[in-house]
């Protein structure tokens, strides 16, 4: 295995953008990061650029306080039960950076992000990671809160999931994510799927979804087709992943009755499926699933859903002699390999968590995979911020991930090859 290279300074907590976005420019020279380096609060959240040649970190958008409570996994109060602290992430702020929103266009270096103002309104801004120029694109009313953002291939449009802001109240009092989703449905709340034109700031409502939607992703080559989720809707194995093309009804990607190849006797309703990402050639969606009750450690599988809804799903389990736990899965452009943080060695097995960054070489034609560990992440997994969320570089040669392995949350890189 390799020794990962630190990309961010040890003097500040840093992390990658969320894994539906690249964090690295196309030339590999500049890294976009979320950091507390320029904030007045220990749980501060600002945006920075890191020059990979020199390691110098400079601010791009500075917010003095902690991250705003814009998405329930980020910046929520500590639990009254210390055993549940891992679910939460510190101080709640009513304004500041929305940590789930930043997304980068690697070619132009334009970094788009949402932040909350003291008057309750949100803003979608754009800042360039090379020249630092920043501008407002559009304002977001207090009645809506952004889950995630996504860019089309040209960087000319931003897709936003604007959930009803009452979801945050459910999050503050919640007993679990299922309860939040059920309350969202109980009160007939909706999520608006909204598109913003970068050049003009024109905002268009694509459609309104009668569900709690967080992840939104344009098709890599078609702006009319969107991949999205229903967050924490039961059963997780079939209600999670959806697609919708303009003028067409929505499509349930992993649904009862759709054939599944390779897995033995799959029971979709018992699976926990998540972290869906477009295969970058646009031919399919890659996702992962877990069967928690599969023995000593969970059965994990990587799935591939062709865009053609009539085609069978392909699901390949991680070999049962390889321990794996909760994790994230990021595919190569062609989907011939997948990067994950879920694999565990003996130390990870004892701690019941993935502690390796690994490459899964996948043979979709024959239904097998080869597991190749690349390096140890050894992160704590204590909060969403400390999850590795590994992503490939735009040239597919490196893997970047987040870890607090040395006591400070830092960004690391490692070769994508053994």
Q: In what helix (H) or strand (E) does residue 152 lie, and over which residues does it extend?
A: none
What's the pLDDT score for residue 168? 85
Domain residue limits at 318: 1-20+261-418
Asked if residue 244 belongs to a domain, the reply is no
Neighbours of 40 (CB within 10 A): 11
Q: Which of 158, 179, 214 is the last residue of a domain?
A: 214
Question: Do 15 and 37 belong to one domain?
Answer: no
Asked if residue 81 belongs to a domain, the reply is yes
Question: Do 6 and 46 belong to one domain?
Answer: no
Global pTM reads 0.95
Q: pLDDT tens-digit profile of 273-284?
A: 999 999 988 999
Average pLDDT over residues 237-256: 95
Asked if residue 91 belongs to a domain, the reply is yes
What's the pLDDT score for residue 75? 61
Domain count, the chain: 2
265: domain CATH number is 2.130.10.10
Asked if residue 387 belongs to a domain, the reply is yes
Q: pLDDT tens-digit profile of 321-376?
A: 999 998 999 999 989 999 999 999 999 999 999 999 999 999 999 999 999 999 99
Beta strands in 212-354 (DSSP E): 216-218, 225-229, 241-245, 251-252, 260-261, 272-278, 284-291, 299-306, 313-317, 329-331, 337-343
pLDDT at 76 over 70: no
Question: Do 4 and 39 belong to one domain?
Answer: no
Residue by residue, DSSP assigns 304-338 as EEESSTTSPEEEEEPPTTS-B-S--EEE-SSSSEE
Given a contact cutoff of 8 angstroms between Cβ atoms, the answer to whether 196 and 150 are in contact is no
pLDDT at 233 over 80: yes
Q: pLDDT tens-digit profile of 119-147?
A: 999 999 999 999 999 999 999 999 999 99
Backbone angles phi, psi at 203, to 5 degrees: -110, 130
Question: Do 178 and 202 belong to one domain?
Answer: yes
pLDDT bucket at 74, cuts 50 / 70 / 90: low
């Amino acid at each position: 295995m390799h020794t990962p290279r630190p990309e961010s300074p040890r003097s500040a907590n840093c992390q990658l953008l969320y894994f539906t976005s690249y964090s690295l420019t196309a030339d590999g020279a500049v890294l976009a990061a979320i950091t507390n380096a320029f904030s007045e609060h220990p749980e501060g959240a600002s945006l920075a650029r890191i020059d990979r040649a020199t390691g110098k970190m400079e601010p791009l958008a500075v917010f003095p306080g902690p991250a705003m409570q814009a998405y329930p996994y980020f910046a929520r109060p500590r639990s009254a039960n210390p055993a549940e602290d891992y679910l939460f992430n510190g101080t709640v702020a009513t304004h500041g950076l929305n940590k789930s929103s930043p997304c980068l266009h690697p070619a132009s270096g334009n970094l788009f992000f949402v932040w909350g103002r003291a008057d309750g309104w949100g803003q979608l801004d754009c800042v360039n990671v090379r020249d630092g120029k920043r501008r407002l694109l559009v304002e977001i009313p207090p009645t809506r809160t952004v889950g995630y953002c996504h860019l089309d291939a040209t960087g000319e449009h931003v897709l936003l999931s604007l959930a009803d802001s009452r979801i945050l109240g459910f999050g503050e009092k919640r007993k679990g994510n299922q309860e939040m989703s059920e309350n969202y449905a109980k009160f007939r709340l909706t999520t608006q799927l909204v598109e913003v034109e970068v050049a003009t700031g024109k905002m268009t409502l694509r459609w309104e979804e009668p569900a709690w939607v967080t992840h939104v992703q344009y098709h890599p080559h078609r702006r009319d087709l969107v991949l999205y989720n229903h967050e924490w809707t039961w059963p997780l194995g079939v209600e999670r992943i959806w697609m919708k093309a303009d003028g067409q009804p929505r499509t349930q990607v992993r649904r009862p009755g759709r054939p599944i190849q390779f897995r033995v006797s799959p029971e979709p309703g018992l699976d926990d499926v998540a972290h869906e990402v477009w295969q970058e050639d646009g031919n399919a969606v890659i996702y992962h699933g877990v069967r928690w009750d599969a023995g000593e450690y969970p059965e994990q599988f990587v799935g591939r859903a062709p865009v053609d809804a009539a085609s069978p799903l392909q699901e390949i389990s991680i070999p049962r002699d390889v321990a794996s736990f909760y994790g994230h899965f990021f595919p190569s452009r062609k989907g011939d390999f997948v990067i994950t943080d879920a694999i565990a060695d003996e130390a990870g097995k004892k701690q019941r968590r993935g502690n390796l960054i690994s490459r899964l070489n996948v043979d979709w034609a024959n239904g097998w995979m080869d597991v190749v560990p690349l390096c140890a992440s050894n992160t704590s997994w204590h909060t969403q911020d400390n999850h590795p969320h590994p992503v490939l570089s735009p040239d597919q040669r490196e893997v970047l991930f987040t870890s607090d392995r040395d006591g400070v949350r830092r960004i690391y890189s490692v070769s994508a090859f053994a």
